[in-house]
Amino acid sequence: MRGISVLFSLQASSKPDNQKGRTILNPVKRSYAAFWAGCFLIFAPVAAQMGQPVAAKVENAVASLDITDEIQGQKTFQVSRMIVKAKAEQVYRLLTDYENAPNVFPHLLKCHVIEDHGSVKVVQHRIHPSGPFGTYEYILQLKETPSKSLEWHRISGDFKEVDGFWKLEPIEGGRSTMVTYSSHINGGFFIPQAMIKRQVHQDMPEVMTALKTQAETGTQIAGRPVANRHN
């Protein structure tokens, strides 16, 4: 089953997403909104307190998950690792089931293959990070190495850079998998890296938990219909 992955005029207006009742900001307004929201979240104590319930939920879900900063080339990636009690082939099938991904992963609204070149895919993504940051869209090129890795980099859309990979290493005689998730996002001038780093540290545990839950139990914890995500 195939399917898991700026500047316009300043006068451009926001447009409603009728399927979700959510407003999708145009890139300029979204960038400015993200910038000021980032400043607020980073420097205001009240905003920090507002983030505590989400952080507490994540901490309860994955108490042992560590997220580290690792230099790869000239870029800093946020990296997390987790043992999933499922075979690497099973985890890989979940990661490359792109069209079904919004049913599995929190904050992912759309994941649609627009070009298929065998082991290389071009995939459109729409995400809605936790917090007051709006909705973002970008297109990634993904390189598949069956049951071993999935690498990606941004082709177009929001953010300046979006790079990362999933790495799958069989352990315990192949019965379990050490899963590594590595992500680098550069928001450009309007979105401070400190804000992006904070957001990744908040949302990455939920992504890892969703993958682990689905791989080990087959439970789609997000429970969101895919058809409504492709508009």
Would you report the helix, strand and coil content of the chain in percent, each value rounded to 5?
A: 35, 35, 30
131 lies in some domain: yes
With contact defined as beta carbons under 8 Å apart, do 86 and 196 qualify?
no
Residue 134 belongs to a domain with what CATH number? 3.30.530.20
Domain membership flag for residue 34: yes
Residue 9 inside a domain? The answer is no
- Express each pLDDT in 50-65 by its tens digit: 344 434 444 444 545 8
pLDDT tens digits for 81-140? Answer: 999 999 999 999 999 999 999 999 989 999 999 999 999 999 999 999 987 668 999 999
Domain count, the chain: 1
Q: Which two tokens stand for residue 79?
A: 């990296």
Q: What is the pLDDT of residues 3-18, one digit of tens each?
A: 444 322 222 333 444 4
For 220, the domain range is 15-229
> Is residue 137 in a domain?
yes
Report the distance separating Cα 84 and Cα 230, nearest Å.
29
What token pair was written down for 28?
């300029």
Please tell me the pTM assigned to this model: 0.71
Two tokens, residue 169: 């290493």
Decide if 95 is inside a domain. Answer: yes
Q: Is residue 70, in this structure, part of any structural domain at all?
A: yes
In a domain, 6, yes or no: no
Token pair, residue 193, equals 């890296």
